[in-house]
Structure 1
Amino acid sequence: MIAAFLGMRLYSVLGERAEHEEEVIPNRYDSADPQEPQARPKPTAPVIDLPRNPNLHPSVDQGVRAIASVDRTFDILTFLEGAKSAYAMVLEAYWRGDKETLRELCDLDVFQSFAGAIDAREELGHSLDNKLIRIEDCTIRDAELDGRTARVTVLFVSDIAAVTRDGDGNVIAGSLDDAIESRDIWTFKRNVDSAGPDWILDETDEG
């Protein structure tokens, strides 16, 4: 039940989207007056929910459109809001040493990297008392559709107050009074054939 709950949490932050009404295609009709010319319907294109951010780099826009063309649940603004929530959830789980949450939110390689760092920290008797102050920026840096796998790379610029404590709770590094800027590049992936909007963290890097 816990695993299912955590899975649904990730689904909710990265998968929800608003409903969009489709345009109605006008019907052709004949005029009752033979002297009156027939009204011609305006040509219409298929309605597709494409990204609503006009500031994407052309190469990124191409990848986003490729994903949106096969995944009708994908909405760029909703995705970015969800990415911010997922970013906070993963960071806080790592700081707490919560491996179970990380296992639900991350690909195996990323989870093993986090788990190894947690184990090394615990062996030293250290703990993290970090706080995410704010996310200053959240921007898509890359997007691609690789077969049936969608990948979206996001740059996060955030302010974090970082404190490391020893086994007795004494501060040995950092300060809660001084936030530092952190730049992280995270890639999320999803199988577009999946029944649920289950994006997971696939790769992490520093910006």
Structure 2
Amino acid sequence: MTAIVLFALVALFIGLRLYAVLGERTGHEQQPIPKPAEPDSRAPVPHAQAQGSPVTDGAELAYVPLAGPGIRALLAADPAFDVARFLEGAGAAYRQILEAFWRGDMESVRPYVDDNVLGAFTAAVAQREADGLKLDNRLVALEPPVIVEAEVDKGIAELTVRFEADIAAVTRNAEGEVVAGSMSDAVQSRDRWTFRRELRSADPNWLLIETDEEE
């Protein structure tokens, strides 16, 4: 019975999904891949750059056609917005927030996630610690992120980004013994994270407001 419970916990964690209010699951544990240059060393979240440029044919590959109208509305409302720069920051945010969750250090990303997201992550970390479990995860590979939804309403922009990653996940007990998972096998993960920003705000950072699993 204990083994079944542990397996269920690992299955929950490996997806990094939020539950409860967001209706998502939390999980994933992996090894960081070499980090690309981050858009802003002060904040591991996507942000607008000082000087934006029009969306080019190449940049359009960074979002699906259905997101096009929202992207154009965002560019009209905020000409400084840059799609490529945003996605670079989104990738950095994905990696850093995942790593913070895996090591149980949600305080380090508190400024970059909203209260509901932070609460769900923190609850998952607390449950994991109560069960005497530790995650030894590695982000093996991360595909270029893609914007799949975009919306601007009353000066508030929301962008949903799809992340495809290969994650090696291992769960250890208090003695450091492996109770589930394997570092030799990577699991493919497809997540959707939604970021929000008030366009009139002087703060260039985008706030993570929701996470979900893409089927």
Q: TM-score range by the shorter chain?
A: 0.7 to 0.9
Contact 2:66/2:148 (CA < 8 Å) preserved in 1?
A: no
Q: Report the 3-state secondary structure (helix = DSSP H, G, I; strand = E; otherwise coil) of the residue aligned with 1:140.
A: strand
Contact 1:7/1:105 (CA < 8 Å) preserved in 2?
A: no
**Correspondent of 1:51 among 52, 55, 60:** 55
**Correspondent of 2:140 among 109, 129, 133:** 133
**Correspondent of 1:8 among 25, 42, 53:** 42
Which residue identity is paired with 1:17?
A: Q
Q: Report the 3-state secondary structure (helix = DSSP H, G, I; strand = E; otherwise coil) of the residue aligned with 1:9.
A: coil
Q: C-alpha separation between the residues in 1 aligned to 2:141 and 2:73?
A: 31
**Correspondent of 1:197 among 194, 199, 204:** 204
Partner of 1:182 in structure 2?
189
Q: CA RMSD in A?
A: 1.9
Summarize the alignment of residues 71-82 of structure 1 with structure 2, pairs less than 5 Å apart.
71-82=78-89
Give the structure-2-normalised TM-score. Answer: 0.75
- Kindly indicate whether residue 106 of structure 2 is the aligned counterpart of residue 102 of structure 1: no
Q: C-alpha separation between the residues in 2 aligned to 1:125 and 1:54?
A: 46
| Residue deviations 1:108-156 (CA, integer Å, cap 9, x gap) | 1111110110011000010101011111241111000021111000110
Q: RCO higher in 1 or 2 (8 Å CA, sep ≥ 6)?
A: 2
The offset of 1:18, in angstroms, is: 6.9
Q: C-alpha separation between the residues in 2 aligned to 1:19 and 1:104?
A: 24
- Kindly indicate whether residue 122 of structure 2 is the aligned counterpart of residue 90 of structure 1: no
Which residue identity is paired with 1:99?
A: M
Give the structure-1-normalised TM-score. Answer: 0.77
Which structure 1 segments of 5+ residues have no match? Answer: 1-5, 21-48
Contact 2:113/2:208 (CA < 8 Å) preserved in 1?
A: yes
Which structure 2 segments of 5+ residues have no match? Answer: 1-39
Q: C-alpha separation between the residues in 1 aligned to 2:81 and 2:166?
A: 28
Contact 1:137/1:158 (CA < 8 Å) preserved in 2?
A: no
| Residue deviations 1:43-68 (CA, integer Å, cap 9, x gap) | xxxxxx33232344443111011111
Q: C-alpha separation between the residues in 1 aligned to 2:136 and 2:65?
A: 41
